[in-house]
Amino acid sequence: MSRISAGRLLPVIVLLSLPAVGAGQARTPGRGEPIDLRLHPSALAQLIDQLGGRQISLPRAKVVSVINPRAFLVESAGPLPATPGNYNRVIVLVEGGMLRVEPLALVGTTVRITGVARTVLGMQVTREVPWPSELTRDIVRRYEVRAAVLSSSVETPDGVQLIAALEQEP
């Protein structure tokens, strides 16, 4: 048996068996449907072309920046910080509500996000929620935003909901 030194890491490949979605078919699960996948934001960012349109959960996402009460930026939470060029960040756009927490209180915390995975372009084109004007093409590139989530739920690790529903006008 060979020993692995502390400085060497072995790559691990995980194969997912995902149901096929035909070309041109949009798959948007309803709220009652189970979550397809639980993964880190960086994994979603790297696999967004294969996972777009699926109901996902990001159980350990670190809030990097709050753009406005309906949009914030996350990256994978972990013991080691991400390095420039490998941030693989995800923009989270809140569906049907807004954050009920002050931005300064949220930045740097770990949250649990549930929603529909989208490509950045897909999120801009569908207009399911307004795209933040602050997020220009250059800003998206500079902040290394690789994917988007249309979120129906943002919670603390202990289950406290951080989204307040928008009041509907009669």
Specify the pLDDT at position 168.
57
Q: What are phi and psi of 71, to 5 degrees?
A: -150, 135
Helix, strand or coil for residue 24?
A: coil
* Rounded CA separation 97/88 (Å): 25
Q: Give the HSE-up count for residue 141: Cα atoms under 13 Å, Cβ half-sphere.
A: 3
Residue 10: inside a domain, yes or no?
no
60-75 as b/e, with b when 16 or more CB fall inside 10 Å? Answer: bbbbbbbbbbbbbbbb
Specify the pLDDT at position 87.
86
Q: What is the pTM for the complete model shown?
A: 0.77
CATH of the domain at 107: 2.40.50
Residue 102: inside a domain, yes or no?
yes
| Whether pLDDT at 112 is above 70 | yes
| Whether pLDDT at 50 is above 80 | yes
| More reliable by pLDDT, 31 or 71 | 71
* Rounded CA separation 24/9 (Å): 39
Residue 11: inside a domain, yes or no?
no
Q: Which residues pair with 66 in a beta bridge?
A: 72
| Whether pLDDT at 145 is above 60 | yes
Specify the pLDDT at position 29.
42
Return the structure tokens found at 157: 């690790």
Residue 142 DSSP one-character state = H
Mean pLDDT is lowest, of 25-29, 59-63, 83-87, for 25-29
Residue 61: inside a domain, yes or no?
yes
Specify the pLDDT at position 165.
87
Mean pLDDT (the chain, rounded)? 82
Specify the pLDDT at position 7.
45
* Rounded CA separation 14/30 (Å): 27
Specify the pLDDT at position 34.
65
> Which domain range does residue 150 map to?
37-165
The mean pLDDT of 5-20, rounded to a whole number, is 43
Specify the pLDDT at position 43.
93
Residue 31: inside a domain, yes or no?
no
Q: Tokens 């931005």 label which residue?
A: 103
CA 160 to centroid of chain Cα atoms: 18
Structurally, the chain folds into a number of domains equal to 1
Residue 3: inside a domain, yes or no?
no
> CB-based contacts of 138: which residues, under 8 Å, 6+ apart?
none
